[in-house]
Chain A
């Protein structure tokens, strides 16, 4: 635990971006998430940790209503983004997801060129009026994702031809190309080797300056390394939520402590 870079971190801002109140999720009759209250801060990396099946990914997918695509899922409670309830009947999930981007566990580049992968989001959301603007977005996004130097000479080659780590950074670049305000990451490094993981983690740290980042991870070390705030989920409950340093060094709940010290999970 000593090697974790916890002490160096301070929380930059306290402005709340997303607030969840009394969120319940059911898959059919299975009550998967119970009474979750969370405030996610802007320009912060928030980590969700917990044993598998604890509901952390489920909650993440509530934040941009990806659970809508699962027929049996039902969400109750309120989640607000900048004060607007995202589960309001008037909200179009399409518009929501433009604001709340998502990166998935397994790199999932479209079977298109690298350029088209990045340009996909801006195109469907009508973010550009000209080819040169689009070129600009592609370049900026790739640069922000620290991928530009590796792929700038082969933007026309298929995105599926990249290495696993590159593919995941491509997916991150794709997500930031739509200029979201929040970036959700569902175990983004679980399919990557240690070197690629380090690159992605470094990237996440840089993204913090522009977005609010929420990351689900099964690795406590990763949570400790990249996040400022951490939420611990267990059996569908949010057990403890607070500053990362506090969670890892001085957990208040005994369940958190057991998990951190490796007794459950």
Chain B
């Protein structure tokens, strides 16, 4: 190699092609290293994705199964319906405290019947095997079916305590129970015996998806019902507002706008709005919709409006791309047979661009569905147990949203809520997956190559 550079005039002394010289070997090693960096980078990204999904799914899957205690319950009429009218309005006077007593008796009887000893445990500890939500469960059931009072329910399912549930999911151990003021190892032993005796067991928990949120002490009762409904309402608002406005704006900018200062301003605006941090839209919503326009806090209408403003640029941009992809010859053809500009756009260009626009719309909606930060600022983080009413009035009722529910659960003290939050994320990801799958199918099926 070296003698060649000394005599640069003719290259023909250079070595044989079949033998790699020193420098080429070095260069090829560098080449291999460089390729390796790329592979390492991709592996890191893939690993991160895998770690993310595995961590969420392993933490969240247990949320869909819940430990229940199934025991026969006597419903004594003298305690639950003194009037004897079986009128649920009158029976509502009996509070959950009254039902708690009924349940405790039933539990003690069931334990005795199966020969499970509870020696050395206080009554409170025995009752502590059940969720604090259990009396409310029974009360709601009785008020909905007043006729059952005075009879006996052969098998009634009650929520087990969150710690007991955690024991069967591996979150709580005998060791951790010793340090825990909410549960004792003795309780866990009884719980284990109850499971062996068939009084306790895990099953799929629909209530996680349908029930409303629950207070700090009862993660086992917390569900996503209000959050899913709130998210659904917001998505309806976003869809109803941003589809027409977004498509109209895209059509105007792509088909009608003459190049001038104002159009430039709009275009620059849309490009930059798409990159404005989402939390700024939350501030906008707080200042304009709540403080200025006086709309109620925590309402899906406000969340929907905020998300609409945030989503609009993200819809307009793909919609314009879809319109742009329709070849000019189509417009020329329509104009050529005497259609007006408006007719050529609405009869020909828009239908051809519709699949692309729709795909962008769905992806925009999916982004809006997962958005959290702006909703925190407009009060969607509030604790809401009541389902919002029907449409359209329900838009103004307090509600929460799926991602916000996740956040508020992570701020709670009980470790059971971590499982709930991860489970809620699985629900959220399933929704997103469905939306994106629809978008992909739409694109595959209707995409046209010009």
Chain A interfacial positions (CB closer than 8 Å to B): 81-82, 84, 86, 88, 90-92, 94-96, 98-99, 124-129, 133, 136-137, 140, 179-181, 210
Contacts and interface: CB of A to CB of B under 8 A. Distances in A.
A124 B27 contact: yes
Interface string B10-23: 11101011111101
A21 B350 CA distance: 57
B11 A180 contact: yes
A81 B5 contact: no
B275 interface: no
Given A92-B28, A133-B5, A181-B11, A126 B17 contact: no
B11 A84 contact: no
B248 interface: no
- Top 10 nearest A-B pairs (CB, nearest first) are A179-B11, A126-B23, A84-B17, A127-B5, A181-B11, A90-B18, A91-B17, A95-B24, A92-B24, A179-B8
A127 B16 CA distance: 16
B52 interface: no
Contacts of B19: 90
Contact of B17 (A99, A133, A136, A137): A99
A125 B18 contact: no
Contact of A94 (B2, B14, B28): B28
B13 to A, nearest CB: 10
A132 B415 CA distance: 71
Given A92-B20, A126-B1, 8 more contacts: A90-B20, A92-B17, A94-B27, A95-B20, A124-B27, A126-B23, A128-B5, A129-B5
B172 to A, nearest CB: 57
A95 B17 contact: yes
Contacts of B10: 179, 210
Nearest to A136: B8
Contacts of B5: 126-129, 133
Residue among B9, B17, B20, B23 with the most chain A CB within 10 A? B17
Contacts of A136: 8
A33 B24 CA distance: 31
B4 interface: yes
A129 B1 CA distance: 11
Contacts of B16: 84
B14 A99 contact: yes
B17 A96 contact: yes
A133 B19 CA distance: 26
A228 B23 CA distance: 36
A153 B5 CA distance: 26
Interface residues of B, number: 20
A126 B2 CA distance: 9
B290 to A, nearest CB: 52
B168 to A, nearest CB: 55
Nearest to A182: B11
20 contacts: A81-B17, A84-B16, A88-B17, A90-B19, A91-B18, A94-B24, A94-B27, A99-B11, A99-B14, A125-B23, A126-B5, A127-B5, A127-B8, A129-B2, A129-B5, A133-B5, A179-B11, A181-B11, A181-B12, A181-B14
B10 to A, nearest CB: 8
Contacts of A96: 17
Given A179-B11, A181-B11, A181-B12, A95 B4 contact: no
Nearest to A176: B11
A140 B5 CA distance: 14
A98 B18 CA distance: 14
Given A94-B28, A124-B27, A125-B23, A137 B18 contact: no
A25 B23 CA distance: 31
Contacts of A91: 17-18
Contacts of B20: 90, 92, 95
Contacts of B27: 94, 124
Contacts of B11: 99, 179-181
Contacts of B17: 81, 84, 86, 88, 91-92, 95-96, 99
Nearest to B31: A94
Contacts of A90: 18-20
Nearest to B7: A179
A67 to B, nearest CB: 17
Residue among A90, A99, A125 with the most chain B CB within 10 A? A125
A208 B68 CA distance: 92
Residue among B2, B11, B18 with the most chain A CB within 10 A? B11
Contact of B18 (A88, A179, A180): A88
Residue among A95, A98, A210 with the most chain B CB within 10 A? A95
Nearest to B25: A92
A137 B20 CA distance: 24
A83 to B, nearest CB: 9
Nearest to A141: B8
Nearest to B5: A127
Interface string B84-113: 000000000000000000000000000000
Contacts of B12: 82, 181
Residue among A82, A98, A126 with the most chain B CB within 10 A? A126
B23 A137 contact: no
B21 A95 contact: yes
A34 B18 CA distance: 26
Nearest to B15: A95
Interface in B357-414: none
A86 to B, nearest CB: 6
Contacts of A180: 11
B26 to A, nearest CB: 9
Contacts of B14: 98-99, 181
Nearest to B12: A181
B174 to A, nearest CB: 61
A81 B18 CA distance: 11
Contacts of A179: 4, 8-11
A100 B74 CA distance: 96
B294 to A, nearest CB: 58
A222 B11 CA distance: 28
B143 to A, nearest CB: 71
Contacts of B9: 179
Contacts of A124: 27
A12 to B, nearest CB: 16
